[in-house]
Structure 1
Amino acid sequence: MFTASLGVFLFGLLAAIAGGAVGAAIGGNYAFVMTGFMVLASWGIFAATGNTFGFDYLAFGPFFGPYVAFAGGVAGAIYATYKGYMTDGKDVNSPLAGLGKPDVLFVGSLFGVFGYVVQIGIANLPWFGKHTDSVALTVLISGLMARWVFGNTKGRKLFSGSLHNPELFHEGATSFPAKIKPGPNGRWLEWQEKPSQLLTIGSLFGIFAASASLFLASNVGAHFAAQGLPSTLAAANASSFPFAISAIIILFLITNRNMPVQHHVTITAGLGAVHFYPILMGGTFDTFKWTATSTWDSHAWLMAFVALLIGAVFGIMAAAFAEFAARLWYNRGTSHIDPPAAAIWISNTIVVSLAALLS
């Protein structure tokens, strides 16, 4: 959308300057919760009109796109720690406007612009841009950049942050997994880091998301087809709905409840279900004609059942990737490098590429 013309690009750029500052002002996680609400609002607009401007600008654009607003909040927090305004660079819950430091908000703006430009660049890469989640990858790159720039809080030196702090690997460990095993402090989510926990969260939330995504792809897709719009339009956005629910659940995590963090699971599982269901039905994602669930026969329901199982498998995969990213970057680090973002971009790439290969 924001590469259509120079004017459109500059409009988005100015919006990103403000969006990054807003994300820093209200705090990264609050900004991400707002992304969830924006997705739900966008779904209402989309289902009624078939227009994706809500997704393109409000939810995943410079208004509350995670690569602008959430990333601005993350960068603002580590900069505030670097400057000594706060003590925890991982604190993406606190609204940074409360510090009363305009420079913190300006850093949010700077990283909002960084995210805006990087996301456009990734999205326009040949092949890769259409086979990955450019939003999630940009969030990861932004977090890594913020740590590299402001991460050395002890020495107060720019551009010297350690990305995964190997000096804090477990002493005496011989294998890499043992070196990055969670220790007593700094763990991401201690209630969902064990294999049994990852399997449970990944599979069940995966099925939860896959079922919602399939229903939306089918019923809204059939509605669009009746209006002369492409029936695949709904499928292309279906996984964002359970993702939005998962994003809003973060609001309860902020209130100091041990809520499950699983937006990486739900968006991956939903994506997997809507990409593999057409293959199971003998078609391809790009050419499949989605029909309302009320018209499905026994075979269609059986293939939908299999698609839910596929969603569960991909959900487990995403949960495992997020925990690995937490152990690699987050647990011993000085700032928030988002494990779900790391999981989403690589999981998306695997799902979309594998579906394309099998089509």
Structure 2
Amino acid sequence: MNFVTLLASFGGGIFGAALGGLPAFVFTGFAVLVGAAAVLGGSSFDFISNVAFGPVFGPHVAFCGGVAAVAYAAKKGIHGAGKDIVSGGAGFKDPMALLVGGLFGILGYLLVSVFNTIFPAGFTDNIALTVFLSNAIARLTFGKTGLFGTLSEDAQARGRFTPGGNDVWVPHQQDFGQLFIISLGVSLVTAWYALTVIGINEAYFPAAAFVGFGISAASLVFLCFGINVPVTHHMTIIASLAAIFSGSLFIGALMGVISAFLGEFASRTFFIHGDTHIDPPATAIFIMTFVLWVIF
């Protein structure tokens, strides 16, 4: 932890708030791919840690800044949807919304620094855990529905864990059959890639572990434009890590599928009935990373 990086995280939170949470996360994905290429090219600069997962595009900084900014804007009545992580906060024309994003960027940096200190290596994904906690703090600070959301009359009739109407996360992947096939496909291919790359040189671990995540995150640029692409980064990162740790394509794919269903469960627990965004993939990632730490 250092003061210069703290200031940079403040700027990263403002930048993420101005872009919007999801567009900022798309840049995380592209930055991961650049960093992976640098690893494979023999670069000595850790682009993934310092840029993709650092104060520039780290999800705990930029994405969380965007989530907090729109939650604040909804509370102030200058934006109609507190769960809207696509719209850029620059369009709210309220400097305070951007300042809130900067403050949550600082919060993200501080939380990750603390977790890096107190947890053993690999204990969980400290960035994903911080995203969940930051989103929860934004909900409790600016939202009205509480951590688990408030059920409408229709939702009470359906049941908490049955999405419908406006109470949905990603409608085109919430059906269990669809979710299974999507998760199986992306988990198989990213687990295979991870095993192939790590088999060449163990020094390529960052490129082996995170390229699937980077592709998944970058693909969400299409979601920003309303195209029905799946949300898969919680599947691909877990499938890659599980495959590397176990040396098994089957184990990698299995863990990726489990993470997919855990993400959907998290969406029905924290997201669909709430009035701000609490990220289902981040929830699945930090839980599944802990599971991998326990097993392997």
Question: TM-score normalised to the size of structure 2?
Answer: 0.95
1:301: which partner in 2?
none
Matched, 1:16 2:4: no
Instruction: Quote how far apart the aligned CAs of 1:98 are.
Output: 1.5
Letter in 1 for 2:91: G
User: Equivalent residue of 1:49, what SS?
Assistant: coil
Which of 66, 69, 86 is equivalent to 1:76? 69
Tell me what 2:143 maps to: 151
Q: Is the 8 A contact 1:76 1:96 kept in 2?
A: yes
- Alpha-carbon distance in 2 for matches of 1:125, 1:203: 34
Specify which of 111, 120, 131 is matched with residue 118 of structure 1. 111
RMSD (Å) for aligned C-alpha atoms: 1.6
* 1:30 matches 2:23: yes
Query: Distance between the aligned counterparts of 1:183 and 1:256, measured in 2?
Result: 19
What is the match of residue 139 of structure 1?
Answer: 131
Letter paired with 1:94:
S
Q: Is the 8 A contact 2:33 2:211 kept in 1?
A: yes
Deviation at 1:52, TM superposition (A): 5.1
User: 1:215 and 2:167 equivalent?
Assistant: no
Shift of 1:236: 5.0
Q: Report if aligned partners of 1:13, 1:113 keep a CA contact under 8 Å in 2.
A: yes
- 2:215 is equivalent to residue 245 of structure 1: yes
Relative contact order, CA 8 A, sep 6+: which one is greater?
2
Q: How big is each residue's C-alpha offset from its partner over 1:315-344, in whole Å with a ceiling of 9 and x where there is no partner?
A: 111101110110011111101110000011
Q: For 1:327, what is the secondary structure of its paired residue?
A: helix
Tell me the amino acid that sits aligned with residue 196 of structure 1: G
1:323 to 232, 244, 264: 264
Contact 1:67 1:139 in 2 (8 A): yes
Shift of 1:137: 0.7
User: Aligned partner of 2:197: which letter?
Assistant: L
2:29 & 2:108 partners in 1: Cα distance?
19
Partners in 2 of 1:121 and 1:266 — Cα distance?
26
The 3-state SS of whatever aligns with 1:199 is helix
- Distance in 2 (alpha carbons) for counterparts of 1:274 and 1:234: 11
- Could you say what secondary structure the match of 1:171 adopts? helix
Tell me which amino acid in the other structure corresponds to 1:162. Answer: G
Aligned mate of 2:162, from 166, 181, 186:
181
- 1:342 corresponds in structure 2 to 283
The residue identity in structure 2 corresponding to 1:65 is G
**Residues 218 and 235 in structure 1, CA contact (< 8 A), matched pair in contact too:** no
Structure with larger Rg: 1
CA distance in 2: counterparts of 1:326 and 1:249, whole angstroms: 20
1 CA distance for matches of 2:141 and 2:273? 17
Partner deviation per Cα, 1:249-305 (whole Å, 9 max, x = no partner): 10001110111110000000001101101xxxxxxxxxxxxxxxxxxxxxxxxxxxx
Given the alignment of the two structures, is residue 162 of structure 1 paired with residue 146 of structure 2, yes or no? yes
Residue 171 (1) aligns with residue 156 (2)? yes
Query: 2 CA distance for matches of 1:210 and 1:52?
Result: 26
Query: Paired residues, what number?
Result: 295
> Residues 348 and 48 from structure 1, CA distance in 2 versus in 1: closer, same or farther, beyond 3 angstroms?
same
